[in-house]
Amino acid sequence: MKRTQIKDVFTGANYGDEITVCGWIKTRRDSKGGFSFLELNDGSCFKNLQIVAEAKLQNYESEIVKLFPGASIAATGIVVKSPGKEQDRELNASSIKVFGFCEPLEYPLGKQKISFERLRELAHMRARTNTFGALARIRNTLAFETHKFFQNNDFYYVNTPIITGSDCEGAGEMFQVTTLNLDKIPRDEKGAIDYSLDFFGKKTSLTVSGQLDGETWACALGKIYTFGPTFRAENSNTRRHLAEFWMIEPEIAFADIDDDAQLAEDYLRHLFKAVLANCPEDLDFFNKFVDKTLKDRLAKLADSPFKRISYTEAVSILEQSGVNFEFKPFWGMDMQSEHERYLSEQKFDCPVIVTDFPVGIKAFYMRLNDDNKTVAAMDVLIPQVGEIIGGSQREERLDVIERRIRESGLEPADYWWYCDLRKYGTVPHAGFGLGFERIVQFCTGMHNIRDVIPFPRTPGNAEF
Ligand code: ATP
Ligand code: MN
């Protein structure tokens, strides 16, 4: 079947063209004059195409008047000028083929408004709603533009493993991967689980970050990025944490923390510009129904440089803010979401890059600064979302990394290949991780991270 996508009907078709469109009915209105209007959506764009079905069609009485929201059809006809003020064109149908009827009393997505909470229980159907259609298209644009940005800047796309044997950097709790029989777990003479009998001959988990592997390839190819699924078994039921999320992790050789911050800023601003340029209708929808400040915010951020401050400056700003934070700020604390939002929303009203965190709260691979008290780490904070990026310059000195691994309660021997990178032709390098769903949240104004991924995985939820 040669079908025209509805987006192309609005942009490419001429009056008088004969075309076939396929999709799902949004609404049907019957007119007294002996014809019906069908609003058809095929997912290719936000807009519906109006189909005019006259009573003289051979299946009008037998089928067309039984079409309800959700039914699927193919409509063939001529593109004509629409007399209505909602649209400039419509399809005058010469034939309509029904693929599947939709029972109006049972279909969960009737005309009534449904809450986002309820839609999560209908995650197999919610892609058909206006909101999730628009969401999916913006998410797609952000993914495509991510690849475009890095490819245009000469980064190589690298795939790091999803199953990992390194008990990584403590980025978060890990999901274990095993083929051991849980009813009959093998144990050694001391009673410990005998992982030598497990599939990989050692204990393995789902990755919490591809960074350590990414570093090894950056230190050969120069500039790389990953874009893949990441898993954290944190039992945190917040609006910005998922157990399975997608992360983009660029890594650059011959680079320091300032280069890293510049890359983060350029990348984010590229995304804001791209969404504004490529998704006007979907953005209009979110701007109208979800967050009235969305478009202004994106436009403003796309054009203004980010603010950069040190962690030490950030803490003194928080201390002097006069705000009664739930968690009282002090030098040495891990920044809480309320602090991050105060800085990026109230204080600076723009994205803020905080650098040089206390060594005690950051991972072993972050480069120790000359003060011996802070590391060359950065967090990028954006309004509404808080932390969107975590990154650092990596420790490239062999003696320092070995010491830092030990100080973190880990064994350098377990990181032998990571240390080899420092042993054989070490170079300064830096990188960061961006949580893809958090940028989708920011670019749509959606409040809950569960509503920006097709099938969210959170504690207690793995339906679909
Ligand atoms: P947070 O403090 O928000 O829990 P984090 O410090 O644990 O994040 P990193 O380990 O620095 O996060 O991970 C890099 C990025 O991945 C974060 O900046 C964030 O955008 C994203 N991220 C981290 N954890 C999650 C999660 N559970 N769900 C979705 N995105 C996440
Ligand atoms: Mn972080």
Q: Please state the rounded mean pLDDT for residues 421-437.
A: 98
Among protein residues, the one with the nearest Cα to ligand 1's atom 7 is: 171
Burial (CB count within 10 angstroms: exposed 0-12, middle 13-18, buried 19+), residue 429: buried
Among protein residues, the one with the nearest Cα to ligand 1's atom 8 is: 387
Say if strands 89-100 and 49-54 run parallel, antiparallel, or are unpaired: parallel
Written as one letter, the residue type at 92 is N
341 neighbors 239 (Cβ within 8 angstroms):
no
Say if strands 156-157 and 374-382 run parallel, antiparallel, or are unpaired: unpaired
Q: How far is the CA of 288 from the centre of ligand 1 (A)?
A: 29
Q: How far is the CA of 320 from the centre of ligand 2 (A)?
A: 24
Q: How far is the CA of 245 from the centre of ligand 1 (A)?
A: 9
Tokens of 210: 């591809």
pLDDT for res 112: 79
Contacts with 300 (C-beta within 8 Å, 6 or more apart), sequence order: 350
Q: How far is the CA of 352 from the centre of ligand 2 (A)?
A: 14
Among protein residues, the one with the nearest Cα to ligand 1's atom 23 is: 435
Cα–Cα dist 149/152, whole Å: 5
309 neighbors 354 (Cβ within 8 angstroms):
yes
Tokens of 381: 């904070």
pLDDT at 358 over 60: yes
Cα–Cα dist 218/205, whole Å: 23
Q: Taking CB atoms and a 6 Å cutoff, what residues make up the pocket around ligand 1?
A: 171-172, 232, 234, 241-242, 245, 247, 387-390, 433-435, 437-438
Among protein residues, the one with the nearest Cα to ligand 1's atom 30 is: 435
Q: How far is the CA of 362 from the centre of ligand 2 (A)?
A: 9
Q: Please state the rounded mean pLDDT for residues 78-95.
A: 93
If one residue of 226, 237, 240, 337 were mutated to test the ligand 1 pocket, choosing by the most ligand atoms within 8 A of its CB, it would be 240
Burial (CB count within 10 angstroms: exposed 0-12, middle 13-18, buried 19+), residue 315: buried
Helices (H), 178-256: 211-221
Contacts with 47 (C-beta within 8 Å, 6 or more apart), sequence order: 6, 7, 10, 41, 87, 281
If one residue of 387, 439, 451 were mutated to test the ligand 1 pocket, choosing by the most ligand atoms within 8 A of its CB, it would be 387
pLDDT for res 168: 54
Give the torsion sign (CA, 436, 438, 444, 446). Answer: positive
The 10 Å Cβ neighbour count of residue 6 is 24
Written as one letter, the residue type at 411 is E
- With a pLDDT cut of 70, the percent of the chain lying above it is 98
Cα–Cα dist 211/202, whole Å: 21
Q: How far is the CA of 427 from the centre of ligand 2 (A)?
A: 23
Measured from the CA of 388, which atom of ligand 1 is nearest?
20
72 neighbors 105 (Cβ within 8 angstroms):
no
φ, ψ of residue 430 to 5 degrees: the values are -155, 160
Ligand nearest to the CA of 388: 1
If one residue of 438, 441, 450, 457 were mutated to test the ligand 1 pocket, choosing by the most ligand atoms within 8 A of its CB, it would be 438
Average pLDDT, the chain: 95
H/E stretch holding 28: strand 18-31
Model confidence over 359-387: pLDDT tens digits?
999 999 999 999 999 999 999 999 888 99
- With a pLDDT cut of 90, the percent of the chain lying above it is 91
Burial (CB count within 10 angstroms: exposed 0-12, middle 13-18, buried 19+), residue 297: buried
- Torsion angle of C-alpha atoms 8, 11, 14, 16, degrees rounded to 10: 50
Measured from the CA of 438, which atom of ligand 1 is nearest?
20
Does the pTM surpass 0.85? The reply is yes
Model confidence over 31-71: pLDDT tens digits?
988 899 999 999 999 999 999 999 999 999 999 999 999 99
pLDDT at 222 over 70: yes
pLDDT for res 167: 63
Model confidence over 112-139: pLDDT tens digits?
789 999 999 999 999 999 999 999 999 9
Among protein residues, the one with the nearest Cα to ligand 1's atom 24 is: 241
Among protein residues, the one with the nearest Cα to ligand 1's atom 28 is: 241
φ, ψ of residue 421 to 5 degrees: the values are -60, -30
Among protein residues, the one with the nearest Cα to ligand 1's atom 6 is: 390
Model confidence over 133-180: pLDDT tens digits?
999 999 999 999 999 999 999 999 999 999 998 765 565 689 999 999
Token pair 């959170």: residue: 458
Tokens of 341: 């939002």
